Copies of this chain bind each other. A is one copy, B any other.
Amino acid sequence: MQVAVIGANGGIGRELLPRLADAGHDPVGVVRDESQFEAVRDRGGEPRLGDLEGDFDAALDGADAVVFTAGSGGSTGADKTLMVDLWGARRVVDACVDRGIDRFVMISSVGAGDPLAGPEPLRPYLVAKRCAADHLEQSSLDSTILRPTALTDAEGTGSVSLAADGLGGDTAEIPRADVAQTAVACLDTDRTVGETIRLTGGETPIERALRGGD
């Protein structure tokens, strides 16, 4: 499949590109700026321009699936959270509906299920992530929503835990590489369609965890 990665220059996006290629997909890396093209190519992706606050439509040409992992980042304000993490995500979902791109994996966040229960500084972000995920869930797309716990840059382990009841707690960490590997595996695991999956570091090999062996 041709898989468009929205946010290809982010922490998880960078881990996604080579893993999609390894899994036999054609990764397209959608970034805001041509200066990021080289980095996308270096990781095995075809770079394309897309602006989540403007035009990104051509970046989806030919895509069979989308992995959304764009975020306005921690250094911008809640205004960008509204425009990118929420409205940008909604617009990409709507564009996929319009174009018949049926498969959509969204990287959300632990805590998005109940934003007011989260730490106060994170709550506005969690509201945005929740509302974006709700829009995807209510769409006609085949969606999977991943809610990883705190992200690290540690090397991937190839193993995770999907424990829905919070084994390990919300403070458990997970390497970005393992979140990316899980997103890739979701594309090839039909039973993840329609699911919202909490994701922490763990000891179950990713494919087995997604097949229900966790």
Contacts and interface: CB of A to CB of B under 8 A. Distances in A.
A123 interface: yes
Contacts of A53: 116
Interface residues of A, number: 22
Interface string A46-86: 00000001100000000000000000000001111111001
Copies of this protein in the assembly total 2
A58 to B, nearest CB: 17
A131 B87 CA distance: 9
A127 interface: yes
A112 to B, nearest CB: 11
A138 interface: yes
A127 B87 contact: yes
9 contacts: A53-B116, A54-B116, A78-B79, A78-B81, A82-B82, A82-B127, A87-B115, A87-B116, A131-B135
Interface of A: 53-54, 77-83, 86-87, 90, 115-116, 123-124, 127-128, 131, 134-135, 138
State the 8 A-B residue pairs at the shortest beta-carbon distance, nearest first: A78-B78, A82-B124, A78-B79, A79-B124, A87-B127, A82-B127, A131-B131, A78-B82
